Amino acid sequence: MSKTQPYQPFLLRLFHSINALLVISCVITGFLVYDSWDGRFCKVGLTIKNRSLIDIHGTFAFVLFLIFLGFIIVSIKIGRNRLVQSDDWQKLTNNVGENIWWYRLHRMVNTTILFSAILSIGSGKLQDENWLPNGEMYHFWYSLHLIGWLIMLLAIATHLLMSAKVGGYPLILSMFNTKYLPQESPKLWPEKIMAWLKHPRI
Ligand code: HEM
Ligand code: HEM
């Protein structure tokens, strides 16, 4: 690890990386589902109508749902200082263009991407896998799920741009670094979980 690379807590990195991979998989497979079964707004025609596409998307999405629950808890508990702070809104007109201002925007974008994921995953959970094969494209939750896809795409792009702006490559790489401190070792997890179960703190 280079000396200038920031250090990110291991658990946060682990959940963030798995979550990011799954979200990207859902964005891609979701688009393929739309492209083959719907295609009202634009059609690329990459795949033919294929039931297993819906199942593949559903599988990635279901695992994402479980991982996202963990990520959101870790993000709030361990990474709270990288999410929006109570005074960020009031101070948004101060120090415009300075580093601190960009960092405030970055924290807001980090929080927005969490809400975008909640929108996509929440509306996804209310889908019925038979709607598209039955040609039922008019359901409210399906339309919301499509809008969620677009918002998710914009949120990822903004999140990447802001991460690059505030910390450049070193910050981006720090989120995918595989090294960890001895006290963060997964070998200690059973011990830590047992200690937590004895004295749970929410
Ligand atoms: C154009 C884009 C998308 C389309 C057409 C689409 C379509 C669908 C369909 C048809 C289902 C029902 C499948 C099933 O229940 O097995 C579904 C479920 C789901 N989708 Fe999407 N999706 C899209 C994008 C996304 C994105 C971007 C995410 C998340 C970031 C997502 C997350 C989910 C979730 C969590 C479920 C529920 C899975 C479950 O628990 O069974 N989808 N989606
Ligand atoms: C390849 C894609 C991604 C890259 C390169 C990336 C990069 C980063 C970086 C560098 C940070 C650290 C920011 C800091 O320390 O100030 C970060 C934080 C964060 N990212 Fe991503 N990210 C990606 C995808 C995602 C996705 C898909 C989501 C959510 C759906 C997400 C949600 C977050 C959140 C919520 C934080 C703040 C975590 C905290 O509470 O500390 N990221 N990301």
Reduce the DSSP state of residue 89 to 3 states and report it: coil
Dihedral over Cα of 160, 81, 150, 59: its sign: positive
Q: Is 120 in the pocket of ligand 2 (CB under 6 A)?
A: no
Task: Indicate if the pLDDT at residue 1 is higher than 50.
Answer: no
Among protein residues, the one with the nearest Cα to ligand 2's atom 7 is 172
In a domain, 1, yes or no: no
In a domain, 25, yes or no: yes
Look at residue 196 in the predicted model and tell me its pLDDT.
86
* Distance between CA atoms of residues 188 and 191, nearest Å: 5
Among protein residues, the one with the nearest Cα to ligand 1's atom 7 is 30
Chain centroid offset of residue 128 CA: 23
In a domain, 4, yes or no: no
Locate 98 and state its tokens: 């300075």
* Distance between CA atoms of residues 110 and 20, nearest Å: 13
In a domain, 3, yes or no: no
- Of 198, 189, 20, the residue nearest 117 (C-alpha): 20
For residue 200, what pLDDT band results from cuts at 50, 70 and 90? Answer: confident
Tell me the CATH number at 179.
Answer: 1.20.950.20
In a domain, 5, yes or no: no
In a domain, 118, yes or no: yes
In a domain, 2, yes or no: no
- Of 85, 114, 102, the residue nearest 162 (C-alpha): 102
User: Which atom number of ligand 1 is nearest to the Cα of residue 132?
Assistant: 10
For all residues of the chain together, what is the average pLDDT?
93
Q: Which domain holds residue 176?
A: 10-198
Q: What percent of the chain has pLDDT over 70?
A: 97
- Of 20, 37, 44, the residue nearest 142 (C-alpha): 37
* Average pLDDT rounded to a whole number, residues 185-190: 94
Among protein residues, the one with the nearest Cα to ligand 2's atom 13 is 163
- Of 57, 16, 69, the residue nearest 142 (C-alpha): 57
In a domain, 60, yes or no: yes
Task: Indicate if the pLDDT at residue 36 is higher than 80.
Answer: yes
Domain total in the chain: 1
